[in-house]
């Protein structure tokens, strides 16, 4: 082949890659031509490369049979499969992350003080359904891993949330005072800290989760707690490997899952979902002048076709685009519970209207539209 033919082919290939659109909900292949398998994921930007971590699904049960996948990209469009960042342990190993456990919503942050990449995830112990409600942590010296599992636990054992009042801490109301759940009296008791008190000694339940590193380098764990009824924001230790015990409750009884937190112009925003299993529901938008609150709720940030169902998706993270200040991408999962491996990704640009984020449905868009 003549040199100019090769150069021409390369130019055409580059133009095709550069002009590839993001098609929310379509199968998204990696650079080997295989569908990207990184669900409930999050993205770390590290030294010029994006790393996308997620649940590697391989059957329809939702159990973790392999672990956490990792893909890398320089341009957010073309993703190279880096293999498993964290592998589950063999059956019979009695590890917390034994094959068949439930390992969801992994997120990775980098700690410049220790030089370690730290992964947190929601962990349910094998064969115990969603009862364990633990947070798991793993570390690595390199972004793509392999990560080494450290431990799992329920956060903040022995610590009261900062915004639980003294009378609520001292209340003697317990679960056994209620014959059934979901009555108005029961809901009021939940709001007044029923489950926080129940779980004080063993640690607070931690399911759907995310991580957030603030501009001062402090890291936070945001998770659905109290039987998924209340979100907690908890401070991590300087090495990012455990909780300091300082935490707050947000919207007690609000039933929020899938928290995705980001900051712009000194204000903090969080997109969440309601709790309807794998089925989509209407996204919620919360904001606060500080991580410690006060948090307020705004109308659904989604606009356009099927906005009331978050475009058939559930938030997993909001990605700040590197090198483009105040530019964010909404990342959600379009779950397919009958075949979880075939769950798709909904990525959409976020714009701001009156200082609030807005996500418009767009069937196809180009990363070049980002400001």
Binding site residues, ligand DGJ, CB under 6 A: 40, 104-105, 208, 257-258, 277-278, 314
Instruction: Give the residue closest to ligand DGJ by C-beta.
Output: 277
Q: In Å, what is the CA distance from 305 to each residue of 23, 293, 309, 362?
A: 15, 32, 9, 9
Least spacing, CB of residue 104 vs ligand DGJ, in Å: 5
Choice between 202 and 277, CB closer to ligand DGJ: 277
Choice between 110 and 330, CB closer to ligand DGJ: 330
CB 274 within 8 A of CB 196: no
Least spacing, CB of residue 253 vs ligand DGJ, in Å: 18
Choice between 282 and 360, CB closer to ligand DGJ: 282
- For residues 107 and 123, what is the distance between their CA atoms, to the nearest angstrom? 12
- For residues 102 and 184, what is the distance between their CA atoms, to the nearest angstrom? 32
Least spacing, CB of residue 88 vs ligand DGJ, in Å: 17
Contacting residues for 97 by C-beta, under 8 A, at least 6 apart? 64, 67, 86, 88, 89, 103, 123, 136, 149, 152
CA dihedral 145, 156, 243, 206 (to 10 degrees): 30
Provide the residue count of the chain: 371
Choice between 116 and 126, CB closer to ligand DGJ: 126
Choice between 208 and 227, CB closer to ligand DGJ: 208
First to last CA, the chain: 40
Least spacing, CB of residue 106 vs ligand DGJ, in Å: 11
Least spacing, CB of residue 108 vs ligand DGJ, in Å: 17
């Amino acid at each position: 082949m003549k040199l100019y033919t090769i150069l021409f082919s390369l130019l055409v290939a580059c133009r095709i890659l550069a002009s590839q659109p993001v098609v929310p909900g379509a199968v998204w292949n990696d650079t080997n031509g295989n569908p990207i398998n990184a669900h409930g994921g999050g993205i770390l930007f590290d030294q010029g490369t994006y790393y996308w971590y997620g649940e590697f699904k391989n059957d329809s049960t939702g159990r973790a049979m392999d672990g956490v996948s990792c893909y890398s990209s320089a341009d957010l469009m073309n993703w190279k499969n880096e293999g498993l960042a964290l592998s589950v342990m063999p059956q019979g190993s009695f590890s917390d992350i034994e094959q068949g456990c439930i390992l969801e919503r992994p997120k990775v942050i980098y700690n410049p003080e220790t030089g370690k990449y730290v992964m947190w995830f929601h962990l349910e112990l094998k064969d115990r359904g969603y009862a364990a409600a633990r947070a798991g942590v793993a570390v690595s010296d390199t972004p793509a891993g392999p990560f080494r599992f450290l431990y799992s636990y329920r956060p903040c054992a022995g610590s009261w949330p900062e915004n639980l009042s003294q009378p609520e801490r001292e209340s003697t109301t317990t679960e056994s005072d209620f014959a059934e759940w979901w009555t108005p009296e029961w809901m009021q008791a939940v709001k007044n800290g029923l489950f926080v008190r129940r779980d004080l000694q063993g640690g607070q339940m931690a399911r759907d989760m995310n991580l957030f590193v603030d501009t001062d380098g402090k890291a936070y764990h945001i998770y659905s707690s109290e039987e998924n009824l209340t979100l907690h924001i908890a401070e991590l230790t300087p090495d990012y490997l455990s909780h300091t015990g300082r935490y707050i409750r947000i919207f007690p009884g609000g039933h929020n899952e899938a928290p995705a937190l980001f900051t712009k112009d000194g204000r903090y925003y969080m997109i969440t979902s309601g709790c309807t299993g794998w089925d989509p529901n209407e996204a919620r938008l919360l904001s606060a002048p500080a991580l410690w609150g006060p948090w307020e709720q705004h109308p659904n940030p989604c606009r356009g076709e099927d906005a009331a169902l978050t475009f058939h998706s559930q938030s997993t993270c909001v990605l700040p685009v590197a090198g483009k200040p105040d530019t964010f991408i909404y990342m959600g999962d379009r779950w397919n519970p009958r075949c979880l491996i075939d769950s798709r990704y909904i990525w959409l640009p976020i714009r701001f209207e009156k200082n609030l984020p807005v996500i418009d449905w767009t069937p196809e868009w180009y990363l070049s539209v980002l400001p």
